[in-house]
Amino acid sequence: MANRIATGLFCVMKSLNLGAPIVRVAENDALAEAVCKQLVTMFGQEPQVAAGRRPLLILLNRMNDLHTMLYHGWNYLTMI
């Protein structure tokens, strides 16, 4: 699962021609930490683009904020 998520994020970053993201991970979240490690490995094998183009990527687990779904609709559009 972590490999699939990391591959998808890697493809998005590369298609936008962005450099390796600055990744922040929630504490005690094994899946987010595994995705972060995969991304670091993937970006370590690729040549870097301009140093000023590093986005901030925050990895959170949706299971941690179940109360949000009670206040909003069940899709992401209404939460945005």
Per-position pLDDT tens, the chain of length 80: 889 999 999 998 888 888 788 888 878 888 889 999 998 898 888 766 555 678 888 887 766 665 666 665 666 666 55
Q: What is the pLDDT of residue 22?
A: 87
pLDDT of res. 8 = 92
- Provide the residue ranges of all domains of the chain, joining segments of one domain with +: 2-79
Contact partners, residue 80, CB within 8 Å, separation at least 6: none
Extended strands (E) in the chain:
22-25, 56-59
Q: What are the C-alpha distances in Å from 62 to residues 1, 47, 65?
A: 15, 32, 6
